[in-house]
């Protein structure tokens, strides 16, 4: 169907279009009038005029006036009324009344409903009904008064004529206006298997009713029951379809009821045409407004359910989003708490180490000094040159111990403060250089060294820190060899990612009870040739600074193996 809102925006074209439709609807009204009284159960131009003004606005009111003049002229021509001055004045009065009726109805709809489609809410439908009842008083009242004043009807017939006219216009507005307004929108229809089944059931029921109507014992009863039998059909349309199909069903039922009644058939045929007319108008008016109210109620419920479903979806999405945010927040808090725990552990460790450090440093720094002072006092009293030389040797040994301790402290401090350098490392050269440096302090021991280096890849790390690591481990292997034939074996395998280092000696080993503590600060597993207790601690801290791992395995009287795994900083 051609959509009215797509008509050219030209006001003149709209006026012409409305006038033509007004005229056509008047022809339909005359076609559906009773043959004797010429009374029409509904007057389509009344409903059409309101619908078209609602759709096009106030500016098309001239079309209603023009269409009304033409349509009412057609009515008087249909009634074989003689042309006279009174008739002309009546036509003008009728046109004015019809125009004011449509304009007043449009005003009330804009004032109280504020929508061009008043059939989507139940309260709006009730307001529309009241608007129809009120506005039709204007058209029927002005028109009937004009006909009385111009002698077309007797004054004694004023109330009857006005009432009949008013009812016809109200019925027309209740049927025609919803039909035109809803079909001005785009038609949408979704067919489904369920609806196909419903149509099948309905057609079957309709065929059964028609069959019973032709069965003489029940035909009269079924005919009288048709107004009740048609109600479920209209209710079904309201529940299952959109307003376009519902309004079309109402229109079709109304036209069928009118068509058979004016031809003397059906349940609305009474003793007189006036009685039949009123009964028919009441029927089609009630089924129309009832069906539309039901449709509006169902539509409101559907919209509310869709809104609730959308609200639930939005709420669920917000809950998921908030849950995700809370989860992320919880994870962040857990990470923060974990960092705080780690920081607290490090802080406690640092505090403990600081206490141990202060205590040990004060003790280990003062011990050599006290020894030196004691030896110096003894040397002052000693007359024997050889004894004095022994004292001096002991003083030198104490100084060397203090120097070694200070060196360990400096290594520890540098490892904590300095950034990691990336230099190419040649392990074999570095290890040979360290052995050369340590052979002078090995108490004239002959150390058998075995160095195996498999280095085919460039390896980068911090050379200064690596020297500290190897110097401590190799010096420990030499210092605690404790055998006539000390042997130190070093194997290194380098790939593109890591360097795996094993340093093994055949020395005295470490008792099992000390193994878990050997990497602690100032921990000494033996008092023989006691060092500062910082060597292995410095090794562990330095290896961790290089993001590597260190492990130690030892068996008493068999030797010790230290395993290092250091990352290649080329990859980093």
At 4 the pLDDT is 47
pTM for this structure? Answer: 0.57
User: Is residue 554 in some structural domain?
Assistant: yes
The candidate with the shortest Cα–Cα distance to 172, out of 250, 112, 110, 80, is 250
User: Is residue 174 in some structural domain?
Assistant: no
At 1 the pLDDT is 41
- Give the Cα-Cα-Cα angle 209, 210, 214 (nearest 5 degrees): 115
User: Is residue 530 in some structural domain?
Assistant: yes
Residue 485 CB partners (closer than 8 Å, separation 6+): 446, 448
Q: Which two tokens stand for residue 115?
A: 């929508």
Helix (H) or strand (E) holding 555: strand 549-555
Q: Check residue 485 and give left, alpha or beta (phi > 0: left; psi -120 to 50: alpha).
A: beta
Q: Pairing relation of β-strands 423-424 and 460-461?
A: antiparallel
What is d(CA 229, CA 257) in angstroms, rounded to the nearest whole number? 13
At 2 the pLDDT is 44
Torsion of CA 241, 244, 247, 249, to 10 degrees: -60
What is d(CA 418, CA 411) in angstroms, rounded to the nearest whole number? 10
What is d(CA 568, CA 572) in angstroms, rounded to the nearest whole number? 7
At 571 the pLDDT is 58
Q: Which two tokens stand for residue 462?
A: 């911090």
User: Is residue 563 in some structural domain?
Assistant: yes
At 3 the pLDDT is 47
User: Is residue 183 in some structural domain?
Assistant: no
Strand partners, 424: 460
* Four-residue CA torsion sign, 345, 351, 354, 360: negative
Q: Any idea what DSSP says for residue 465?
A: H
Token pair 């403990």 is at which residue? 352
At 126 the pLDDT is 93
Residue 420 CB partners (closer than 8 Å, separation 6+): 461, 462, 465, 545, 546, 569
Q: Any idea what DSSP says for residue 83?
A: P
User: Is residue 195 in some structural domain?
Assistant: no
What is d(CA 432, CA 439) in angstroms, rounded to the nearest whole number? 11
Q: Which two tokens stand for residue 363?
A: 């003790």
* Total domains present in the chain: 1
Q: What is the pLDDT along the chain (572 residues), one digit of tens a residue?
A: 444 444 445 666 777 777 788 778 888 888 888 887 778 888 888 898 899 888 888 887 887 888 778 877 777 776 666 666 767 787 888 888 888 999 999 999 999 988 888 888 999 999 999 999 999 999 888 988 888 887 777 888 888 888 888 998 999 999 999 999 988 888 776 667 776 777 777 677 767 766 665 555 556 676 777 778 788 888 888 888 888 888 888 888 888 888 888 888 778 888 888 888 888 889 999 999 999 999 999 888 888 888 898 988 898 899 888 888 888 888 898 888 888 888 888 788 767 766 665 555 555 555 566 666 666 776 677 677 777 777 677 767 666 656 665 666 666 566 566 677 788 888 888 888 878 777 655 555 677 888 888 888 888 888 888 888 888 888 888 877 766 677 888 999 988 888 899 988 888 888 888 878 877 766 776 665 556 667 788 788 888 888 889 898 888 888 889 999 988 887 55
Full residue range of the structural domain in which residue 509 is found: 420-567
What is d(CA 474, CA 484) in angstroms, rounded to the nearest whole number? 17
Q: Are 459 and 540 in contact (CB under 8 A)?
A: no
Strand partners, 129: none
What is d(CA 331, CA 412) in angstroms, rounded to the nearest whole number? 36
Q: Which two tokens stand for residue 231?
A: 């109600």
User: Is residue 405 in some structural domain?
Assistant: no
Between 216-240 and 243-262, two packed helices, what is the crossing angle to 10 degrees? 150
What is d(CA 97, CA 65) in angstroms, rounded to the nearest whole number? 9
Helix (H) or strand (E) holding 548: none
Q: Are 261 and 302 in contact (CB under 8 A)?
A: no
Phi, psi of 454 (to 5 degrees): -110, 90
Indicate which CATH number applies to the domain containing 522: 3.30.565.10
Q: Pairing relation of β-strands 498-505 and 559-567?
A: antiparallel
At 128 the pLDDT is 93
At 7 the pLDDT is 46
Q: Which long-range contacts (CB under 8 A, 24 or more apart) does 75-81 make?
A: 75/26, 75/30, 78/30, 78/38, 79/38, 81/152
User: Is residue 257 in some structural domain?
Assistant: no
């Amino acid at each position: 169907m051609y959509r009215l809102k797509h008509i050219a925006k030209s006001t003149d074209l709209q006026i012409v279009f409305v006038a033509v439709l007004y005229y056509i609807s008047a022809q339909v009204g005359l076609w559906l009038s009773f043959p004797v009284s010429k009374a029409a159960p509904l007057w389509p131009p009344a409903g059409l005029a309101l619908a078209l003004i609602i759709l096009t606005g106030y500016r098309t009111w001239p079309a209603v006036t023009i269409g009304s003049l033409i349509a009412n002229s057609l009515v008087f021509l249909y009634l074989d009324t003689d042309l006279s001055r009174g008739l002309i004045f009546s036509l003008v009065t009728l046109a004015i009344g019809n125009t004011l009726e449509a304009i007043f109805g449009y005003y009330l709809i804009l004032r109280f409903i504020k929508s061009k489609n008043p059939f989507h809410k139940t309260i709006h439908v009730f307001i529309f009904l009241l608007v129809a009842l009120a506005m039709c008083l204007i058209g029927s009242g002005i028109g009937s008064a004009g006909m009385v004043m111009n002698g077309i009807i007797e004054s004694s017939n004023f109330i009857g004529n006005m009432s009949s006219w008013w009812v016809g216009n109200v019925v027309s507005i209740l049927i025609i206006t919803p039909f035109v307004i809803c079909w001005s929108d785009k038609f949408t229809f979704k067919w489904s298997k369920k609806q196909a089944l419903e149509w099948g059931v309905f057609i079957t029921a309709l065929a059964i009713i028609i069959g019973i109507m032709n069965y003489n014992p029940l035909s009269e009863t079924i005919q009288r029951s048709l107004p009740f039998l048609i109600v479920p059909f209209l209710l079904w349309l309201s529940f299952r379809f959109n307003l376009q199909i519902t309004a079309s069903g109402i229109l079709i039922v109304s036209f069928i009821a009118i068509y058979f009644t004016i031809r003397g058939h059906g349940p609305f045929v009474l003793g007189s045409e006036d009685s039949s007319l009123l009964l028919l108008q009441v029927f089609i008016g009630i089924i129309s407004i009832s069906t539309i109210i039901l449709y509006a109620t169902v539509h409101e419920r559907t919209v509310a359910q869709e809104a609730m479903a959308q609200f639930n979806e939005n709420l669920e999405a917000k809950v998921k989003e908030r849950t995700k945010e809370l989860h992320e927040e919880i994870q962040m808090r857990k990470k923060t708490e974990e960092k705080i725990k780690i920081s607290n552990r490090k802080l406690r460790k640092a505090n403990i180490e600081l206490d141990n450090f202060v205590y040990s440093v004060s003790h280990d720094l003062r011990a050599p000094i006290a020894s030196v002072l004691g030896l110096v006092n003894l040397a002052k009293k000693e007359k024997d040159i050889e004894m004095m030389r022994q004292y001096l040797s002991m003083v030198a040994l104490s100084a060397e111990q203090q120097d070694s301790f200070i060196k360990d402290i400096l290594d520890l401090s540098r490892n904590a403060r300095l950034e990691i350098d990336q230099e190419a490392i040649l392990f074999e050269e570095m290890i040979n250089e360290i052995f050369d440096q340590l052979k002078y302090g090995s108490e004239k021991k002959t150390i058998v060294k075995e160095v195996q280096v498999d280095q085919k890849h460039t390896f980068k790390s911090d050379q200064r820190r690596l020297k500290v690591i190897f110097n401590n481990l190799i010096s420990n292997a030499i210092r605690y060899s404790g055998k006539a034939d000390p042997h130190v074996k070093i194997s290194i395998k380098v790939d593109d990612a890591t360097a795996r280092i094993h340093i093994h000696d055949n020395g005295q080993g470490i008792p099992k009870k000390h193994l878990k503590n050997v990497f602690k600060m100032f921990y000494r597993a033996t008092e023989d040739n006691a060092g500062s207790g910082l060597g292995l601690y410095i090794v562990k801290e330095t290896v961790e600074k290089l993001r590597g791992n260190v492990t130690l395995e030892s068996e008493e009287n068999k030797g010790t193996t230290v395993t290092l795994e250091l990352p290649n900083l080329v990859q980093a």
